[in-house]
Amino acid sequence: MEVHSSCCRWHLFLLAGGGALALAAMGSFAVLVFIPALGTVVLIYSLGPQEVHRYSFWAFTWKGLQILGLECLMVVMMRVVSEGAGLADCRQLQCIYVMWSTAGLFKLTYYSHWLLDDFLLCAAGFGSEFGESPGEEGYLPDGDMWMLETTHRISLFTRKWNQSTARWLRRLIFQQGRAWPLLQTFVFSAWWHGLHPGQVFGFLCWALMVKADYLIHTFANLFIRSWPTRLLYRTLTWAHTQLIIAYIMLAVEGRSLSSLWLLCNSYNSVFPMVYCILLFLLAKRKHKVN
């Protein structure tokens, strides 16, 4: 009986901490967390700790720790961004660091929200453990942080970023479009987000970068053979991919024409410009070969 009481107090302590975190992160939407949390309390009192599925407990604990870790990183990045120079104040190469750190804060926010969504869906029984019928598309978490932060391909980043929406756009627009399906998909995305100047520019730039990515990596796979050269190539394209994504993210999140102007007039514009030049040269070469 004493063990049961001690275990209940421990579970209640975890729930109280999770509730405080949910209130801080979600505000009034924290009710979406409280409902499964209260259901957990009911299960603990009605079934007893020995009957509660241990795997579920530790899986949810691990997800909660991940969310907490991301929130802590967000606080650190927010302090770094707020105390540093902005795009209006940065000088030359400093603007690259400003862009990277600001985009890092945006990405951490997305990762935290997606992880919380995944947590809630799993708690409700609709997560990755939920069985699907044969032939039915399985559940996909919106963001694979490891894949997104380590990939050296913009096209792969695009497919893995917000996967549920990306899959929906692929079915709705890309697979149905007969002419320029890639461009149609990104134009629709810009319209969906509100057609602000930064969003229109950002999504059109993103479409060009994906097209360039296909040509660059196809060309590289034909001519790069030795592993030292391939390692150097992957390292450079990884850094370039992350910086281009940061550029696009600042354009989309900035929205306004003034923010877009500051971004375009900074040294950061060199990175998408390199891919645009390579797109032009490789497309011309491909046309000659054909």
> From CA 169, how far away is CA 125, in angstroms rounded?
25
**Burial class of residue 54 in the structure, from the number of CB atoms within 10 Å of its CB (0-12 exposed, 13-18 middle, 19+ buried):** exposed
**Burial class of residue 200 in the structure, from the number of CB atoms within 10 Å of its CB (0-12 exposed, 13-18 middle, 19+ buried):** buried
Q: Has 217 been annotated as catalytic?
A: no
Is residue 145 within 8 Å of residue 111, measured between CB atoms?
yes
Chain position carrying tokens 């939407």 = 29
Q: Has 152 been annotated as catalytic?
A: no
Of 4, 11, 193, 290, which is the active-site residue? Answer: 193
The two three-digit tokens of residue 151, written as one number: 């990939």
- At position 158, the amino acid (one-letter code) is T
Task: State the DSSP string of 184-228.
Answer: HHHHHHHHHHT--HHHHHHHHHHHHHHHHHHHHHHHHHHH--SHH
Backbone angles phi, psi at 23, to 5 degrees: -65, -40
Is residue 144 within 8 Å of residue 160, measured between CB atoms?
yes
User: Please, what's the b/e burial string for 133-142 (b: 16 or more CB within 10 A of its CB; e: otherwise)?
Assistant: eeeeeebebb
Largest distance between two CA atoms of the chain: 81
Task: State the DSSP string of 222-286.
Answer: HH--SHHHHHHHHHHHHHHHHHHHHHHHHHHHH-SHHHHHHHHTSGGGHHHHHHHHHHHHHHHHH
Is residue 252 within 8 Å of residue 81, measured between CB atoms?
no
Of 4, 11, 113, 162, which is the active-site residue? Answer: 162
- At position 59, the amino acid (one-letter code) is A
> Which residues belong to the active site?
162, 193
